Structure 1
Amino acid sequence: MFELSTSSLSLLALGLYVAYTIVSVVTDPLRDIPGPFLARFTRLWYFFKVYKGSFEITNLNLHKIYGPIVRIAPNEYSVDDVEAAKSIYRVGNGFVKAPWYWAWMPPIPERANLFADMDPHHHASQRRKFASAYTMTSLVEYESSVNECTAILAQRFSELAASGQSINFGHWLQYYAFDTISLITFGNRFGFLDKGQDENRLFDAIDHHNTYSTLVGIFPFLHRFLFPILLKTGGYGTLLNFSMKQIERRRMLLKDPTARDNDGPLDFMARYLAAHEATPEKMSNDDIFTISITNIAAGSDTTGVTLSVVLYYLLKHPATYKRLQQEIDSASADGAIDDPITFRQALCLLYLQAVLKEALRIHPATGLGLQRCVPAAGAMLSGRNFPGGTTVGVNSWVAHRNVGVYGKDADKWRPERWLEIEANGRGAEVEQYFFAFGMGSRTCLGKNISLLELNKLIPQLLRKFNLILDDELSKQEWKTLNRWFVKPQNFKGRIISRTTEKVIGRTF
């Protein structure tokens, strides 16, 4: 009997794969849509571009070269079209999240988190469980928690200003975001601001988890095999164990009537544990674990990134910095804002709102496409008929530089554009192509937490301090790394207390 050797079987398998790929390309009804040559044949092109860590820039350049629809992998496309975006992200339209999201959750659909859940019905059910705690009405109750963390950060900044040390602003702003979300979620701070360091290496755990999910999601079939290893050695396992300890700590304290942690606003965990005690079939332990990890990971990263973006662009554009600081100083002198500023007062500072929106526009926290699967019936997008099962999506970095929406200078920092947009009555129109917190039914649940922190911290920092970029960074653009979140890597500088106006140039 004729037997094939291992090498012969390998060559046969390779030949069949190549033949299948060629046939798929030739018969593809969208074969004329442009894009990089290798992206027609393999997802490896997309993988290596994402791995390099700057896909947001690559994606922008692709659209400059090829137009509003670009192939980025076999059967996957990046879209830059306002009307197409309305179709893709409209509530109830049948465009479900793409398989890339599979790697962001345990490979068990019933344990999907709100970010990654690919089942719209399960997602809607889960979102209803938690949504009331994230409304702006509910979150305003947590202003005292934000004030507490803001006061501690201001104290740390005063100490660092007195020492003249150069610091990593990015780290300190993530410390702030982490302690704030932990106080809101668990009723206690993790102590990042107090210690000025990440003793439990939670930042590393989050970065590891984000890197894993970003890259493995490109080949989602691998996730089922790799996830058991991740639980033992990866960031997800670290976050899970940390969350379980925090939940148990909060559970025990809630049973102690003398615990000081039970004073003040009702934190998220207290709400969820009470709901679990009342109706465990509706609010399960898995639900509580999942929302805890989501708050810790996403809640610190997204807000930490955006706070860094606001300050970085203010420091890169001194005229903007000066105008915003003058608005804050004038409002303070007139008694229009308190110390600390309230959220409602911050909303009345029009230039502050323009600066925050421009930061969210020019450097949204996420740097990959919000990919969706075309429903079985197919869909007409940007003049093309996409068959069911095709993956399409809009990258917020691409959308936010659309000159038809944001003007010919869309690639430039200019907060004044938002004042002009409002003056021209275009606010509602522009919001339809503003992806800083996602779009449609999958809009980020933590959006209001982030806005609360942004609106309260930035005015407090500018009224108390002048910040200065390190000499090297002042002469060049900062470095970032895109692992879903586009995080700064070298955002360093010094602090001047506005009461002393003194700088000592030592290195931290």
Structure 2
Amino acid sequence: MAKQAYGDSFHRTNIALHEKHGKLVRTGPNEVSVADLGLVKKIFAAGNKYQKGPFYISWKGKRKFDLFGERDEKEHSAMRRLVSRVYSMDSMRDLEIYAEKTIAQFVARLGELQGQKVDMGSWFQLFAFDTIGELSFSHPYGFLDMGRDDGTLESITQALWSLAWTSYAQWVIKLNHWIAPVFGFQLSMHIRNGKFAEFAAREIEDREKRGNNHRDMLAKLLETQATKPELDNTAIYGILNSNVFAGSDTTAIALRGVFYNILAHPDIKKRFLDELWHRRKSGHLSDPIKLYETEKWPYLQALIYEALRLHPASGMGFTRIVPVPGVEADGHFLPPGTIVAPNGWVIHRNKEVFGDDVEEYRPERWLDESKKGDMRT
């Protein structure tokens, strides 16, 4: 598993294994890759007792507050209660004004590049990073202005790669900590606890000293801290660090997936642009478009859903541990303690749900009301 995660085809290997062996594939002495939809629903159902697997140990590291990496259900629930208001949809709508600033800047920068050959994938990454900075701190990183980054994006890539494969080789992390006092940390995963955490810490310190009237995520977290002191500064910069470290990369992946597939399919692009101009002329779209307007545009939603189906942001399986008394799935009994790992790339290619053309980009499948419910669940 570590060797597969070390490479760049883990997701495709996982798909091929399920095509050959079925809904359950044993991938380790005590680990099963899961494509059985009934079991997947049980694993991620609200109030379930499927604890996160050891995969998450390296992601949390020694940080006390980490929503993604925390494995203890009680601790995780307490963390969620502290920040749930900050991440609510109403709160996200409050942040639109900050996103609009980087959208306007992004469009202007692209306008300056008319007639030039550009790597749009890189520009989406710069845009995503500056947007996350604006939402979190009202402070973009300036990458759009420069048209490049300062090495940060490569650092994130290296850290994520390091975290991916060491999650299946925890002994490597222990060895790294053991030799660190003499040789220093040799794994790139520790970058996230240095450069990014330091930036977040500086932003918090500056805000506390000078203050401002911005209603960004930092302001909302500091407001929560005023009534819930257990959300200390260490927890806040851990949260904001995660926004930048993980949020920018997944946002860029989503944008790349959507735009690549639109551009790669001329008929789909034509329909999209026809609807775009029709909605704009009829007064149904602002500039830039508001979230509530996108929610009322079925074809745009279908374009996004289909892109995310074909290219989920993560290619890894999100492991959970089967609780007592065990579980039945696809005619097999999985005893308590078994590690089960649903993978989005596998699940989103289920032909029973999505049809035989699962490898095709066909947004229209999301416009079929009789099937949309199954596809979303």
Of 118, 125, 131, the residue aligned with 1:174 is 125
1:215 aligns with 2:165: yes
Aligned partners of 1:221 and 1:244: how far apart in 2?
A: 30
Q: Secondary structure at the match of 1:78?
A: strand
Q: Is residue 253 of structure 1 aligned with residue 198 of structure 2?
A: no
Q: Distance in 2 between matches of 1:239 and 1:166?
A: 32
Change (3 A) 1:182 1:300: same
TM-score (norm: length of structure 1): 0.70
How far residue 253 of structure 1 moved from its aligned partner, in angstroms, is 2.8
Is this contact kept in 1: 2:319–2:340, CA < 8 A? Answer: yes
Asked if structure 1 preserves the Cα contact closer than 8 Å seen for 2:162 and 2:187, the reply is no
> Which among 225, 246, 257 is matched to residue 309 of structure 1?
257
CA distance in 1, matches of 2:18, 2:254: 25
Give the aligned partner of residue 151 of structure 1: 104
Distance 2:209 2:124 in 1: 30
Question: How many Å apart are 1:274 and its aligned residue?
Answer: 3.3
Q: Percent identity?
A: 34
Inter-partner Cα distance in structure 2 for 1:268 and 1:125:
19
The partner residue of 2:152 within 193, 199, 202 is: 202
Report the Cα offset of residue 105 of structure 1. Answer: 1.5
State the match for 1:7 in structure 2: none
Q: 2:141 aligns with which of 180, 184, 190?
A: 190
User: Amino acid of the residue matched to residue 191 of structure 2?
Assistant: G
Q: Tell me the distance in 2 between the aligned counterparts of 1:78 and 1:279.
A: 40
**2:372 counterpart letter in structure 1:** G
Change (3 A) 1:231 1:128: farther
Q: CA deviation at 1:277?
A: 4.2
Q: Does 1:387 align with 2:340?
A: no
Alignment of 1:94 onto 2:49:
yes
Q: Which residue in the other structure is 1:430 paired with?
A: 375
Aligned to 2:31: 76
Q: State the 1:59 CA deviation.
A: 0.6
Residues 365-444 of structure 1 aligned to structure 2 (within 5 Å): 365-420=313-368, 422=369, 424=370, 426-432=371-377
In 2, Cα distance between equivalents of 1:79 and 1:217: 18
For residues 369-389 of structure 1, the C-alpha deviation after alignment (integer angstroms, 9 at most, x for no partner) is 111111142222222111111
- Corresponding position of 1:457: none
The more displaced of 367-376 and 229-238 is 229-238
Q: Give the Cα–Cα distance (whole angstroms) in 2 for the partners of residues 403 and 279 of structure 1.
A: 47
Q: Aligned match of 1:269 in 204, 218, 225?
A: 218
Go from structure 1 to structure 2 and tell me whether the alpha carbon gap of 1:232 and 1:56 turns closer, same or farther (over 3 Å shift). Answer: closer
- Say whether the 8 Å CA contact 2:2–2:167 is kept in structure 1: no
User: Residue 220 and residue 329 in structure 1: after superposition, are their counterparts in 2 closer, same or farther (change >3 A)?
Assistant: same
Structure 1 residue 70: Cα displacement: 0.7
Q: CA deviation at 1:319?
A: 0.9
Whether the aligned pair in 1 keeps the contact of 2:176 and 2:186 (CA below 8 Å) is: no
Aligned equivalents of 2:367 and 2:39: distance in 1?
27
Letter paired with 1:400: H
Larger radius of gyration: 1
Offset at 1:123? 0.6
Alignment partner of 2:113: what SS? helix
Q: Compute the displacement of 1:273 (Å).
A: 2.3
Q: Tell me what 1:235 maps to.
A: 191
AA aligned to 2:133 is S
Three-state SS of the structure 2 residue aligned to 1:72 is: strand
Other structure's SS at 1:165 match? coil
Q: CA separation in 2, counterparts of 1:346 and 1:75?
A: 44
Aligned pair 1:325/2:241, yes or no? no
CA shift, 1:230, in A, is 4.2
State the TM-score, normalized to the length of structure 2: 0.93
Q: Give the Cα–Cα distance (whole angstroms) in 2 for the partners of residues 56 and 351 of structure 1.
A: 28
- Match of residue 303, structure 2, among 346, 355, 359: 355
* Contact kept in structure 2, 1:105 and 1:116, CA below 8 Å: yes
The answer to whether the Cα contact below 8 Å between 2:254 and 2:313 also exists between their aligned partners in 1 is yes
- Please give the residue correspondences for 1:115-126 in structure 2 after superposition, counting only pairs within 5 Å: 115-126=68-79
Query: In 2, Cα distance between the equivalents of 1:126 and 1:184?
Result: 21
Distance 2:286 2:65 in 1: 42
Counterpart in 2 of 1:140?
A: 93
Q: CA deviation at 1:245?
A: 2.1
Take 1:250 and 1:153, find their aligned partners in 2: how far apart are those partners? 26
Contact preservation (8 Å) 1:102, 1:223: no
Could you report, residue by residue, the CA deviation over 1:229-283 in whole angstroms, capped at 9, with x for unpaired residues? 44997422222222222222332331xxxxxxx245x111112223334442x21
Between structures 1 and 2, the one with greater strand share: 1
What residue ranges of structure 1 are gaps of 5+ in the alignment?
1-45, 255-261, 433-508
Conserved? CA contact 2:82–2:224, under 8 Å: no
1:88 touches 1:393 (CA, 8 Å); kept in 2?
Answer: no
User: How far apart, in 2, do the equivalents of 1:195 and 1:429 lie?
Assistant: 44
Structure 2 residue runs without a partner (length 5+): none
Q: In structure 2, how many angstroms separate the alpha carbons of the residues matched to 1:58 and 1:365? A: 16
